[in-house]
Amino acid sequence: MNLLNSRDALRRIQDSGIAMSRAGFFQLGIAPARTERRGGNPAYLYAPEAIDARIAEIKAEQPAGLLSVREAVDHINTAYAGPLRERNIEPVTVDQFRHWIHRGQITPTDTRPYGFGHQYYFSEEALEQTPVMRALRRPVVAEMIRVNSTDELLALQQQFGPLIGEEGVLAELRKKKPGIKRGAISARRRRGTLVGVATFNGVVLYPRSSVTIDPQRPAHHAAAAPRR
């Protein structure tokens, strides 16, 4: 029987479409078929049938209608390939997506324990909160547009969607995080995550779609790195 070392066993899992790190592989707790000593260190060898059985188990656990980490990454890179190129944004990688989960920058729609780790699943709506999607929603404006009439304002909203002033931005933020201070607006402007596109009657206008809350890093994610 041709056995697989841990590297080849991990590659077999990854080639099946499952995103997994080396640490995640060992957290699955797959029993090796044989253990050898190489240079004083143990080398674990796995039966291909055991790896394939675990692949089938992982895929069977996936909730209907939700995306695994690998599928979520592929969805973003395929569905938004054009906008990513236009903004000179590199395609998302699996490691980058895992980092967003670990930092609490995206919340899984469903989390299921598996082995010693977890499997994470996402709806397409949840992917809208990833940093890359927030970056794509930020308007690109060479200079602030001066709006002189309601007709011009309506035309501009055809391009950017509903536009709101600072009070509207604050109201949107407070819908998502009650009690947030007005200073959050200037902080977002400094970071470039809130970009004004026009002025109307002396009021700076922002696309309502670009108003987001920066997610906080959940404590449970800090303890366990994502596996998929």
| Chain segment 181-223, per-residue pLDDT in tens | 988 888 888 777 788 889 999 899 988 887 876 554 444 443 3
Q: What is the model's pTM?
A: 0.58
pLDDT exceeds 60 at position 43: yes
Query: Which pair of tokens denotes residue 92?
Result: 């998302």
- Helix (H, G, I), strand (E, B), or coil: what is residue 199? strand
Nearest to 228 by CA among 86, 103, 108, 60: 108
pLDDT at 227: 43
For residue range 96-154, list pLDDT tens digits in order: 998 999 888 899 999 887 666 678 899 999 998 898 988 888 777 767 889 999 999 99
**What pLDDT, on the 0 to 100 scale, is given for residue 218?**
42
User: Domain locations in the chain?
Assistant: 4-60, 69-129, 138-210
Other C-beta atoms closer than 10 Å to the C-beta of 156 total: 18
Residues 65-93, mean pLDDT to the nearest whole number = 91
